[in-house]
A and B are shown apart, each in its own frame.
Chain A
Amino acid sequence: MLRFSLINSKKAQVAETMTWVVATIIIIFLILSSIYIASLLGENKNLKTNKIETSSNYNWVENKSKNAFELNSENRAEVVLWLNENSLEDLNSGGGND
């Protein structure tokens, strides 16, 4: 009876150890993944202006050039078209070669 109970106890210990080994592997995997994600987020810490306002330059152009349009608004459509272009953005999107 005593022998039988000892065998049972060993089985229980093996099961518990296996559980812990698997749990440790999962914990280490999660931690390594989190460290990797943290390093990726850390590399992309760029502070930029509010893109909603400046993506098309519309508001900025309107504010800066509004007075000039009040003084002379000839060829307005043509001018606004030029103002909304951006050589750097065109370059990065594979567009113009300004």
Chain B
Amino acid sequence: MSNLFRNKIGGDKVISVYWFAIIVIVAGGVIAMVYTFYSSPYDVRELEGEVLANKVADCVSFQGKLNEELFDIEGNFNLKFSEDFFEVCGLNFETENENGWEESEQFFVEGVFYDLDENEIFGFSKGNLNLKADCFIPDKKRKDYEKLSKCVEKRIYSVGISEGEEQYLIKILVGVDKAEKNVKI
């Protein structure tokens, strides 16, 4: 009879240990879930590219007309626009001095002007043009796809500054790398 009584106490203790183990497992699981979710960074490169593309579009064309800085004194396209791009558009491609970013630029911008027959008549580019190749890799299922640069394309229509108001189709391509801070590597 005394044995039976002891047995009951032992059973209760085992159940308590079991409960404790379950609580530890569940708590550990919740911690693991939160850690795995929040340890991956938010990928804001596409958003960053959209903002940059909009800024470039605003610089190139304002109120429907092309920026006068795109043209030289004779009214031809200014071939030095690429060099003056930062100054004219009030932009810069500065980034944090980490992950080796100071050695290679993390952005690139390209603007191409077409006539209505889609013949290229002018273009400018700025930044790290090595990133451009990433824009045209079609295979999204590649394992390392997320580590490639994110690209954004914007198309706008604008007219020239002369009285004839020539029509221009403008394609703006923007690439943003910064994979180290936007993708879990």
Which residues from chain A sit less than 8 Å from chain B, CB to CB? 2, 6, 9, 13, 16, 20, 23-24, 27-28, 31-32, 34-35, 38-39, 41-43, 45-49, 54, 57, 60-61, 64-72, 74-75, 78-79, 82-83, 85-88, 91-92, 94
Which residues from chain B sit less than 8 Å from chain A, CB to CB? 1, 4, 7, 11, 15, 18, 21-22, 25-26, 28-29, 32-34, 36-44, 46-47, 50, 57, 61, 63-65, 116, 118, 135-136, 138, 140, 146, 151-159, 165, 167, 169, 171, 173, 184
Q: Please give the distance in Å from B144's CB to the nearest CB on chain A.
A: 13
Candidates A69, A75, A88; contact of B116 at CB < 8 Å = A75
Q: How far is the CA of A34 from the CA of B36 in the complex (A)?
A: 10
Whether the pair A65, B25 counts as a contact (CB closer than 8 A) is no
Candidates A49, A57, A82, A88; contact of B47 at CB < 8 Å = A49
The interface residues of chain A lying within 8 Å CB-to-CB of B135 are 88
The interface residues of chain A lying within 8 Å CB-to-CB of B22 are 23-24, 27
Q: How far is the CA of A79 from the CA of B159 in the complex (A)?
A: 12
Q: Please give the distance in Å from B24's CB to the nearest CB on chain A.
A: 11
Residue on B nearest A37 in the bound complex, by CB: B33
